[in-house]
Amino acid sequence: MRNQYKVWLCLLLLVGMTSCTDKSELIARSWGLDLSVGVDKSKLSADEKARLEQSTSILEQFAVTLEFKKDGTLVSKSREFSKWTHWKVEGNKLLLIRDKGNIIQKVKIAELTEKRLGLDFNDGKVTYFNAMNKGEIQK
């Protein structure tokens, strides 16, 4: 019976370590602020959808973009995020780091897939980002 508990404990530890690695791998890419949150496109006419797409493409030039590099560095053209120079995943938290590790902001990862990132900056509201294709991030 004790051996069975040890096996389960080892499996839980391995799953826990794998999930952190998976999150780090998933987050290591470029992300752009999702400008369509809260818009129900199914209720829009074809003309309204076209205008929304046009407006979105214009706004994307000025939107917040984040690039989480595999080496743990963070690049952003956004004034709010440019102060953060490094990142790290610990459990369900994204650590944004600056000043050689002296200042760390812990952000809850609310959603993370290959195409979507949801972050709760400790205000109870989730900010969504969409994965960007290589070369889309503007510095």
Domain boundaries, the chain: 2-131
- Tell me which of 40 and 33 has the higher pLDDT: 33
Tens digits of residue pLDDT in 86-112: 999 999 999 999 988 888 999 999 999
Pairing of the two strands 30-33 and 126-131: antiparallel
Quote the pLDDT of residue 134.
Answer: 63
Find out if CATH 1.10.3110 is the number for domain 2-131.
no
Average of per-residue pLDDT across 131-138 = 65
pLDDT at 23 over 70: yes
Distance in angstroms (rounded) separating the CA atoms of residues 20 and 122? 20
Torsion, Cα of 87, 56, 121, 137 (10° steps): 10
Q: Identity (one letter) of the amino acid at 113?
A: T
- The reply to whether the predicted model has a pTM over 0.75 is no
Residue of 79, 48, 49 lying closest to 62 (CA atoms): 79
Structural contact between residues 25 and 72, judged by C-beta atoms closer than 8 angstroms:
no
Phi, psi (5° rounding) for residue 30? -95, 140
